[in-house]
Amino acid sequence: MASRADNIASSLSLANFGQATELRQRIWFTIGALIVFRFLSFVPLPGVNPLILETLYDQTRGGILDLFNTFSGGSLERMSLIALGVMPYITASIVIQLAASLHPPLMALKKEGEAGRKKLNQYTRYGAVLLCAVQGWFLASGLEAYGAQSGLQAVVEPGLMFRILAVVNLIGGTMFLLWLGEQITSRGIGNGVSLIIMAGIVAQFPTFAANLFEGGRTGSISAFLIVGLVAMIIALILFISFMERAQRRLLIQYPKRASQRGMMQADRSHLPLKLNTAGVIPPIFASSLLLLPLTISQFAGNSADPDSAFYGVIQALNLYLQHGAPLYMVLYAAGIIFFCFFYTAVVFNPEETAENLKKNGGFIPGIRPGKRTADYLDYVLTRITVVGAIYLTLVCVIPEYVIAQTGLPLFLGGTSLLIVVNVTVDTISQIQSHLLAHQYGDLIKKAKLKGRLR
């Protein structure tokens, strides 16, 4: 059976793709949804002057704003309706998942299956709305004071009405993005929110490439540095691709069963444990947690009195936690390591897996079924998660340090590359799964047709 599946998987080609009508429709729907997302990133907030805003952003380019701008696909730079992106939803999901692991009522809700999951998703959306309101208010307040020292005014008519209008529009933009991501997941090729984040990052690539080669032409960036950066990107992509496919396969054995020839035969299979079980979630969660207070403090600092103590605290916070600062790197690395273990514990339950193996008669050779199997799975998973956490930390932190030292655009960050490569690999796997299901469907139809002819 396994060899037959391998033969079918190896025969996937463009001819099979041409026959998979449903898959083509899903891909076209996904592309259309991402085009809508890109169009929205160019629609500015009402009451904002885009030309003056672009001038002011060029004057304050760098730091945490560029990082936020990368994740939002340039929406923050243009202060569009989706300037906040999906980061409030991601931050809210962190809070809800942490609460579901610590708060008994939410923990019980999590164990209720699909109904509990829908309820937790509803709480996450409520939290996202609340975070959008808070971030939107500080963003609007910061916009009113943005460029006051330069004599430029980004907001046409500052005041309470502008702040309320901005908050409402920003909440609506983020909620629309979440709805769009859900549509991509259900009617497209899956991974809706991840694809939106990836599309925002990839959209910055032409600008980054143009600036890089323009710097090489003018001599501001040496040719040696450009070659080194290209080599580093290629090496990182290959390394990430290899590590994301790495797994520890545990042998699972089932009791002997009578085969068609009357012989007793033992079935064997493998339980794959990915080296990076948490995927791209740890760096995204760590980034969003750092982005939330820094974005608020940076925009709040623009409207604060320069002689006040609050202004001094805000400036110190922005100084020590700015992108590339030692404290920022330490907190970023600590956040990645924490969420590696936390999210792995959320998505993989050793006790539940051991119980399912015991019910189906499966066991790991040399390990007793039940609690001993759960302890062994936890033992193996903890050790491979250590390796996965080190891998994610190195991939995300080292490029960030190089960027901070060289002053290059933030597109090259390890987090961005990790998201792009990981989501691309997952998307290709989804497409292959659809093609495989389509081929199996054709085989079943042919088998039924031959049965009727006989």
CATH number of the domain at 170, please: 1.10.3370.10
List, in order, residues 6 or more apart from 367 with CB less than 8 Å away: 373, 376
Q: What is the pLDDT of residue 285?
A: 80
Strand-pair partners of 251: 270
Burial of 411 (0-12, 13-18, 19+ CB in 10 A): buried
Among 306, 313, 312, 52, smallest CA distance to 158 is for 52
What tokens appear for 274 in the block?
């990915």
SS3 content of the chain, % helix, strand, coil (to 5): 75, 5, 20
Cα dihedral angle (421, 424, 426, 431), rounded to 10 degrees? -160
Asked if 154 and 166 count as a contact pair (C-beta separation under 8 A), the reply is no
Whose tokens are 């190195």? That residue is 394
- Containing 271, the helix (H) or strand (E) segment is strand 264-274
Domain that holds residue 84: 23-203
Rounded CA-CA distance 274/385 in Å is: 9
What tokens appear for 55 in the block?
């001038």
In a domain, 28, yes or no: yes
In a domain, 423, yes or no: no
Q: How many domains does the chain have?
A: 1
SS3 220: coil
Rounded CA-CA distance 373/366 in Å is: 10
Q: What is the pLDDT of residue 448?
A: 58
In a domain, 407, yes or no: no
Q: What is the pLDDT of residue 261?
A: 57
In a domain, 45, yes or no: yes
pTM over 0.95: no
What tokens appear for 348 in the block?
């993989």
Q: What is the pLDDT of residue 35?
A: 92
Rounded CA-CA distance 99/6 in Å is: 42
In a domain, 31, yes or no: yes
Rounded CA-CA distance 308/312 in Å is: 7
Q: What is the pLDDT of residue 7?
A: 45
What tokens appear for 427 in the block?
């998307």
Asked if 258 and 57 count as a contact pair (C-beta separation under 8 A), the reply is no
Q: What is the pLDDT of residue 175?
A: 93
In a domain, 418, yes or no: no
pLDDT tens digits, the chain, 454 residues: what are they? Answer: 444 444 444 444 445 656 677 888 888 999 999 999 989 888 888 888 777 777 766 655 554 555 566 666 667 677 888 888 888 888 888 788 878 877 788 878 877 777 888 888 889 999 999 999 988 888 888 777 766 566 677 787 888 888 899 899 999 999 999 999 999 988 888 788 888 888 888 887 887 778 778 877 887 777 888 888 888 888 888 888 888 888 888 888 877 665 555 555 557 788 888 888 888 888 878 877 777 666 666 655 555 555 666 566 666 776 777 767 788 888 889 999 998 998 888 888 888 888 888 888 888 888 888 888 889 999 999 999 999 999 999 888 887 777 777 766 555 567 788 888 888 888 888 888 777 776 666 556 555 555 555 5
Q: What is the pLDDT of residue 130?
A: 93
- Distant-in-sequence contacts of 258-262, Cβ < 8 A, 24+ apart: none
Among 288, 284, 283, smallest CA distance to 84 is for 288
Q: What is the pLDDT of residue 178?
A: 92
Q: What is the pLDDT of residue 206?
A: 81
SS3 424: helix
Asked if 173 and 89 count as a contact pair (C-beta separation under 8 A), the reply is no
C-alpha to C-alpha distances, 381 to 247, 431, 440, 452, nearest whole angstrom = 11, 28, 33, 50
Rounded CA-CA distance 370/374 in Å is: 6
Q: What is the pLDDT of residue 6?
A: 43
Asked if 200 and 107 count as a contact pair (C-beta separation under 8 A), the reply is no
In a domain, 148, yes or no: yes
In a domain, 369, yes or no: no
Whose tokens are 């995300």? That residue is 396
